[in-house]
Amino acid sequence: MPPIISIPIGFLCVAISLAVVWVRQLSTKNAGMVDPVWSWSLGFLGVWFALFGDAPLLTRVLLAVLAGGWGLRLGTHLFLRNHGKPEDGRYARLREEWGASANRNMFLFFQLQALFSMALAMGFMIIAYRVTAPVMAASIAAVVIWLIAVIGEGVADWQLEQFKKEKTSKGQVCRRGLWYYSRHPNYFFECVHWLAYVPLALGGPWWGLALIPPGVMAFLLLKMSGIPITEAQTAKSRPAYAEYIRTTSAFIPWPPKKA
């Protein structure tokens, strides 16, 4: 299937999925399910382009496993974290700020995420439609980077969930494990994940475009819907967070400053 057909169909699938989530939140007043659905749908795009691309079979299989595995893990984690819980503070804050326009703006916000999905999926498309297979060293590098990123993000998510389960954690700041070295180690490893597809694109005619997804994800997490909104919300509910901000790296894991 040529890109001129697979790209709009892929976008339509993601847009419809997020529209369904929007319809659901009209009654639940909880937009938290957009996070797992967005992750699942982005992983789906990797599998979608792998199925219909022109690259050698083994290259497309590797792409499907990496992209699909990442989306499945992250989406499932977010679903278990958000299901049956009050609305995520980020969305509750937006709903409050938007007031009477909340439903309309939420729909536009969800569809904007569909557009960002296509920008991120560019890394998948470059690989799926390359004519030649990447060299073995590049494939190994991609798998190694993917494993570091997915395992690192999974460990960070697990450490935070274990901390939240403790009765004494309410109003406190998690400073254990990876969270001792970074305020957002999960975000850091999420950005590293998108670098895994760069080696698989090397040697292809459009490999440089594979650098766009890591930049897009870094922008989303550092400047848009990640750190700014999360930290503004957390600082209000956890008094110790100001000291955590002063002493601990925001993104890249690094030994903290002395208190």
Closest residue by Cα to residue 52 from 11, 118, 1, 5: 1
Determine the pLDDT at residue 229. 77
Percent of the chain at pLDDT above 70?
100
Stretch 213-220: mean pLDDT: 92
Which parts of 121-166 fold into alpha helices (H)?
122-128, 136-165
Determine the pLDDT at residue 114. 95
Question: CB 25: neighbour CB atoms within 10 A?
Answer: 22
Determine the pLDDT at residue 258. 74
Contact 251, 182 (CB under 8 A): yes
Stretch 1-14: mean pLDDT: 93
pTM (2 d.p.): 0.91
Name the amino acid, one letter, at 104.
R
Contact 151, 40 (CB under 8 A): no
* Greater model confidence, 82 or 150: 150
For the chain, the structural domain boundaries read 3-247
Contact 186, 160 (CB under 8 A): yes
Stretch 68-87: mean pLDDT: 93
Determine the pLDDT at residue 192. 96
Percent of the chain at pLDDT above 90?
71
Structure tokens at 82: 């958000």
Determine the pLDDT at residue 145. 98
Contact 251, 227 (CB under 8 A): yes
CB within 8 Å of 11: residues ≥ 6 apart: 114, 117, 118
Average pLDDT taken over every residue of the chain: 92
Highest mean pLDDT of the ranges 85-94, 140-149, 209-218, 234-243 = 140-149
Structure tokens at 78: 């977010």
Closest residue by Cα to residue 245 from 166, 184, 186: 184
The pLDDT of residue 243 is above 70: yes
Distance of CA 196 to the CA centre of its chain: 14
pLDDT confidence of 259, banded at 50, 70, 90? low
The pLDDT of residue 227 is above 80: yes
Determine the pLDDT at residue 93. 84
Q: Across the chain, where does the E strand assignment appear?
A: none
- What would the pLDDT profile of 138-183 be if each residue is shown by its tens digit? 999 999 999 999 999 999 999 999 998 888 888 888 899 999 999 9
Distance, in Å, from the CA atom of 147 to the CA atom of 48, rounded to the nearest integer, reads 22
Stretch 103-122: mean pLDDT: 94
- What would the pLDDT profile of 49-63 be if each residue is shown by its tens digit? 999 999 999 999 999
pLDDT confidence of 15, banded at 50, 70, 90? very high
